[in-house]
Structure 1
Amino acid sequence: MGEARIMFLDKEEKYIFDKFAKQASGSVYYQSGNNVLLATVAIDEDCIVEEDFLPLTVQYIEKAYAAGKFPGGYVKREAKPSDFETLTARIIDRSLRPLFSKNYCYPTQITILVLSADNDADLQILALNAASAALYVSEIPLKFPVNGVRIGRIGEEFVVNPSLKEQEQSTLDLLVSGVNEDLLMIEMRTFGGIKVKPSSNPLSLMTTLNEESITSFSANELEENQLIEALEIARTHISKKSQSIVQSFEAFVKPALELGEGRKSFVCEGIESFICQQYLESLRKIIESLSKTERHSQLKAFAKKIAQDWKAQNPNDIESLEQRVEETLDKVKRNLIRQMILEEGKRADGRGLKEVRPISIETNLLPKAHSSALFTRGQTQALVVCTLGGDMDAQNYELLTEKTTSKERFMVHYNFPPFSVGEASSIGATGRRELGHGNLAKRALECSLIYRDSKTIRLVSEILESNGSSSMASVCGGSLALAAADIECTSLIAGVAMGLVCEGEKYAILTDIMGLEDHDGDMDFKVAGSAEGITALQMDIKLGGLKTEILKNALFQAKEARLHILGLMEEAKRKIVLNTESLPSSQIFAIHPSKIVEVIGQAGKTIKEIIEKFEVVIDLNRDNGEVKVSGGNKEKVDAAKEHIINIANSKESKPNIYELYQVGDIYTGRVKKIVEFGAFVELPHHYDGLLHISKVTHNRNEKISDYLKEGDEVRVEVLSLNKNKVELGLLD
């Protein structure tokens, strides 16, 4: 058991090792301010996973008691992880996964529990710090001190690890993790912003958007050089903290476990030479097959043929022959693909390094959906469907650091059914990958939305075919689906996935990678944005660090591809025909608060006529005069808006009651209507005042009709004026 303290950005971080969860391979009690997290690492050293993947699982769990709260919902116990918990676990996983060697094959579980949380806590950074510390001091034989920083941008200044209050003012959210000088994982998004002329209008920002008060609305895209500058700031701070961690944790690092040889390799040098000498050209032709499914089936058949030929020449060599041939062939295939790219500048499908696959776009092909877009790029196809709703359709969610429930009014749901890659399996619950890809698309698109009212927008991306970059196809299709739903945005947003092949000092950057290049390449780099710059970015590195020169070249190469795709999307946008019969519409505007009563009319007569005539729903705010009209037909919604404005602007409409009456005024009026609780008395200027029964008799057994009848003339006094209502008292 031991304790270490680190000062970083004027904040003290306390790490207590192996006081808690002592049976885990590594554990750390991590405290920063009032925030406390417990991270543990457990491995199953008796189990070896033979499949070719890293058996690492990361779980990030928030405990409601950490913020003095009860879990939301009917069952008062933590259950299914929230979206935030799942996305945070993915960030930690993607940051730590590159540290493990390819041959590591022991099931490993990293668990992070949030035990205490301040309202201003950046829990993602804290969780990454805790998990990395637990892994660093554990018995697993890898010793790299990963840490992460968040970069914001307020005005023109970059801010390192901004507080939650500062993040509300920031136009940038850039999360970077790394080791020493090496960057391992990048998540980035921008936030749209609006500037409005000074105005005395008491209405909300959404209402002023309908007025001529906007000076600018921007997605606040980040230019490539600005992103490089921000990443260099992150790199500097990550390097400094890495050194502090090594110095402070050195005494607490456990001796590495003797885990044996790990996963057995079936790669055979003899079979490798056999394939290279006799089958290289045949393998090249299979790699160049245009169809992903054809290539996969041909490779399986090709492996069987090689095994048969090898067995014919080596009849006694039969042990694990098929597995040895398959693994060896996979190694030769990988080397050949990388050699073609680096030496010949040629890719598996014949494209140049900077070439984007052919793109086709169709919009509003689903007649009853509010809007839809089918975006096809090579062998990747996304059908993105947009649905518009109101306040009641928003998704409620809770965050540990917030006291109240929040509403999500823009949702992007990404679905990846097995048939999209030719697999015959059932469709199950939404997985972490689907949640992550949907979140990436949401981050790319959300900053471009110009909300003119309180719409709720849901985009669903159905991946119908996948051979690389399906999340970026969702971004492109999603942006077009928004346009096809007549949602106003700053601009179209396009996305492209970039790849990297690197051997020594030689490297090649690949535009619009397909599945084969993603599998055998060294980087997965997704960039989305408009013609003005980047709105979202996600990067995972499979090799160590990434040189600034390579990163800069990749960003500008991605910009070329993005501009090419945006050109095709703009052309498709001009051809959009709206689904006017299915597309709902809404308008939010303002009239003078005193005119609301005119829109309602006597006993609601006027507003009922408007609703029936135009087939709309109308919401009125008596306090600020805000009017929201929504319906299933845009023309009728616009006509209803115009009708209401005409009523409010009519010279014949009644003036404000505060201008007509004063408390204490005495009038002689005619009883217009008798109701159970009193009588309505017609006053001068065509307003009706309420004479409550309590102002006529105090006997509960008596009725107002015992004293007054419709048509009677009475002398009344104005007792109060409240929200366009006149309350009267009876004079003898």
Structure 2
Amino acid sequence: MNTIDLTLTNLEEQYKLEYVAKQACGSVWYRSGGTILLASVAVDTTPISGDFLPLTVQYLHKSYALRKIPSGFIKREGKPSEFETLTSRIIDRTLRPLFPAGYYYPTQLTILVLSYDEQSDLPLCALHAGANALLVSGLDFIPPVSSVRIGKSNGDFVINPTKQQMAQSCLDLYVAGSGEDILMIEMKGADPALDEAALMQAIELAKQTIASDCALYTNALLPHKRQALALPLAKLTTHPHIYTIIATQHHEQVKAALESMSKSERNDELESIAQEILALHPELELESILSMLGLYKKHQVRAMILDEGRRADGRGLEDVRPISIETNILPCAHASALFTRGETQALVVCTLGGENDAQIQEDFSGGSKERFMFHYNFPGFSVGEASMIGGVGRRELGHGNLAKKALESTLPQTHHTIRLVSEILESNGSSSMASVCGGSLALRAAGLENELVAGVAMGLVLGENKHAVLTDIMGLEDHDGDMDFKIAGTRSAITAMQMDIKLGGIDSRILHAALLQAKHAREQILSLMEEAATHITLQTHLLPKSELLHIPAHKIPDLIGPGGKTIKDIIDRFKVAIDIQREKEQILLQADSTKNLEAAKTFITKLITPNAQYESGEVVAGVVKRVVDFGVFIALPRGEDGLLHISKIPQDMQPLREHFSEGMGLECIVLGSPKGKIELGFR
């Protein structure tokens, strides 16, 4: 067994090799503080027949790691939490570009959290454990990989901040890379001064840290790498004669198909070309024709961009597709915005709720209430596919999380729980950024004075001696390009960013140029959004109303009533939500109408007023508090007790203890209150 201690920047790491999971292709027992993770790699040596990388990453928490038994009826770990799924996705996006073309062997990377000290940065630890399990495995093409988190406090960047430092940070930048190459970036900001230059400084700091870490891994771990597996890579099957036929006889048809205005038209045209070639050359196979047609199409798309500075849909490199915006198109929702950019369309709906509508999160960070939610849905019909709508996938969770990061720093102070739902109705490039734009407008349409945020997806095409950065990429350019780079922000600051590189890395100058080009596009989009915001007509009659009421701590039990009966009665009678804030001695009232809010407010004010008065003849809904020989004591809704004397109770309801019991609800009539005692009559 080899035990290797590494000291990274602000991160003590220890690796045990050949300690557990020895039958896996590679494994490490990873420790940082009191946190222990087991990362293992398993490889099936029989390749698949499909043309894709069959890599699966699973990051999973074990409840015993934090001395807990799983909550719920079934006492074992079940479906991964959102945090586990998003962490799996981050690791996958980092490691996937490292696998070479032609690698078709099913590969499973499993990372289990076995012990958690409540301080360690789990996504960082998980990436290091998983990447180094691959590094020491029998896969000889995996280079050293590291990641770093950059925070910002008091104007200074902090490398791998502690949990306490992160709570005070206005920046959360997560960067993963190999050596000098950046592989993946995730960023969330709440710093109004975080412009493109400041972000580049943070990224450069992250690059230096990653390069230093990778050098440590190279020296300490690479000498212990397992013997390489014999896994020959599948060769790309090419058919030069078919490619030549397409290039010489069908060039103009392919060019016309690429310049088709819609994605569906383009796909239909390319399919038609393939069928035409098959009819002229029946000795060929359709699958081979489609393969070479796809390759020729890719070459033409890239050549058009690099050589002509022109894109398939006729746009220049920095042009944004036409945008249209409509707000509050759903008459019964609190607010909505329909944001359309080219062939990408997002309907974002905002719903405002109360404290009880918040999402309760239970994970390793402890229980918390999430009062801002962003849910992203991507049905098959948005891309013309005939598929059922099922459970939420990793991609949908990831896109929703990105949109949430982009918007949450601009939310105003509010008593409401906010839920945004983005329904993608059409998709041809960057539906997540359309969701950001639509979500920001939906918040405005709900009457919230949030600062508007716009998002745009950038692309990159690299040639031998030149490159082109593309603004507002469509699906074709995402598929055939070299980078997917999403960035969102206000006019003055970047609020969220996500970047995936399909190459080995990206030059810092190109990245900086892409950031500046994205800022220009963002400003264009924001101008259109600001104009649309001036035409928003609030659906005031639908928007919930809220008000804070002061209530002395000793009066809160009167508001709640016996067994919660009083507060339940108020909620049911006036159709309101009540959030009791004991430590502040106040309650938050929320209702769908001003009428209900005022009625509930009046009732509660009377209830908590000392010596609340009941008028003679008033009908009250009480609860039996105590049954005695001479009558029944009734707990009244405004905090007093009244007596229903035996003389006021019909003979057929006596003896009393056979007909009345504690906790029983009972309506009575107030007869009067001589000497301060409330007398009740049977109703």
In structure 1, runs of 5+ residues without a counterpart are 192-218, 312-316, 601-605, 656-673, 681-686, 692-700, 702-708, 715-732
State the partner residue of 2:334: 370
CA 1:362/1:84 → structure 2, altered by over 3 Å: closer, same or farther? Answer: same
1:324 to 264, 288, 292: 288
CA 1:644/1:99 → structure 2, altered by over 3 Å: closer, same or farther? Answer: same
1:393 to 330, 352, 357: 357
Residue 398 of structure 1 aligns to a residue in which SS? strand
Q: Identity, % of aligned pairs?
A: 52
Counting only pairs closer than 5 Å after superposition, residues 130-145 of structure 1 correspond to structure 2 as 130-145=129-144
Partners of 2:72 and 2:439 lie apart in 1 by 31
Partners of 2:76 and 2:582 lie apart in 1 by 41
State the partner residue of 2:377: 415
Partners of 1:679 and 1:106 lie apart in 2 by 72
Q: Which moved more, 1:219-228 or 1:609-618?
A: 609-618
CA 1:713/1:388 → structure 2, altered by over 3 Å: closer, same or farther? Answer: closer
In structure 2, runs of 5+ residues without a counterpart are 561-565, 612-629, 644-656, 658-671, 678-683
Give 1:4 deviation, angstroms. 2.0
CA 1:619/1:411 → structure 2, altered by over 3 Å: closer, same or farther? Answer: closer
State the partner residue of 1:24: 24
Give 1:298 deviation, angstroms. 1.3
1:474 to 416, 422, 435: 435
Is 1:275 the counterpart of 2:236? The answer is: no
1:542 to 502, 521, 534: 502
Give 1:616 deviation, angstroms. 4.8
Counting only pairs closer than 5 Å after superposition, residues 600-679 of structure 1 correspond to structure 2 as 616=576, 624-633=584-593, 635-636=594-595
Is 1:338 the counterpart of 2:302? The answer is: yes
Q: CA RMSD in A?
A: 3.3
Partners of 2:125 and 2:581 lie apart in 1 by 43
CA 1:607/1:390 → structure 2, altered by over 3 Å: closer, same or farther? Answer: closer
Partners of 1:689 and 1:643 lie apart in 2 by 21
Q: Is this contact kept in 1: 2:579–2:587, CA < 8 A?
A: yes
Residue type matched to 1:7 in 2? T
Give 1:244 deviation, angstroms. 0.6
Partners of 1:280 and 1:267 lie apart in 2 by 18
Partners of 1:710 and 1:425 lie apart in 2 by 70
State the partner residue of 2:320: 356
Residue 448 of structure 1 aligns to a residue in which SS? coil
Q: Deviations over 1:339-393 (max 9, x none)?
A: 1001101001001111111111111111111111111110001111111111221
2:518 to 558, 582, 588: 558
Give 1:623 deviation, angstroms. 6.3
Q: Is this contact kept in 2: 1:64–1:78, CA < 8 A?
A: yes
Partners of 2:642 and 2:600 lie apart in 1 by 31
State the partner residue of 1:450: 412
Partners of 1:429 and 1:504 lie apart in 2 by 43
Q: Is this contact kept in 2: 1:629–1:637, CA < 8 A?
A: no
Residue type matched to 1:272 in 2? Y
1:434 to 396, 401, 407: 396
TM-score by length of 2: 0.85
Residue 90 of structure 2 aligns to a residue in which SS? helix
Counting only pairs closer than 5 Å after superposition, residues 130-279 of structure 1 correspond to structure 2 as 130-191=129-190, 220=192, 222-262=194-234, 264-279=235-250
Partners of 1:593 and 1:143 lie apart in 2 by 62
Residue 84 of structure 1 aligns to a residue in which SS? helix
Give 1:586 deviation, angstroms. 1.5
Q: Is this contact kept in 1: 2:319–2:471, CA < 8 A?
A: yes
Residue 91 of structure 1 aligns to a residue in which SS? helix
CA 1:645/1:426 → structure 2, altered by over 3 Å: closer, same or farther? Answer: closer
Partners of 2:479 and 2:676 lie apart in 1 by 90
Partners of 2:112 and 2:572 lie apart in 1 by 55
Residue type matched to 1:43 in 2? V
Is 1:519 the counterpart of 2:491? The answer is: no
Q: Deviations over 1:650-701 (max 9, x none)?
A: xxx989xxxxxxxxxxxxxxxxxx9967999xxxxxx99999xxxxxxxxx9
Give 1:221 deviation, angstroms. 5.9
Aligned residues: 627
Is 1:500 the counterpart of 2:471? The answer is: no
Partners of 1:175 and 1:423 lie apart in 2 by 34
Q: Deviations over 1:505-537 (max 9, x none)?
A: 311110100000000000000001111111000
Q: Is this contact kept in 1: 2:32–2:120, CA < 8 A?
A: no
Partners of 1:679 and 1:500 lie apart in 2 by 72
Q: Is this contact kept in 1: 2:37–2:111, CA < 8 A?
A: yes
Residue type matched to 2:371 in 1? R
Residue 360 of structure 1 aligns to a residue in which SS? strand
Q: Is this contact kept in 2: 1:592–1:624, CA < 8 A?
A: no
Q: Is this contact kept in 2: 1:469–1:496, CA < 8 A?
A: yes
State the partner residue of 2:80: 81
Give 1:255 deviation, angstroms. 2.5
Q: Is this contact kept in 1: 2:356–2:579, CA < 8 A?
A: no
Q: Is this contact kept in 1: 2:378–2:423, CA < 8 A?
A: yes
TM-score by length of 1: 0.80
Give 1:474 deviation, angstroms. 0.7
Residue 3 of structure 2 aligns to a residue in which SS? strand
Give 1:169 deviation, angstroms. 0.5
Give 1:488 deviation, angstroms. 3.2
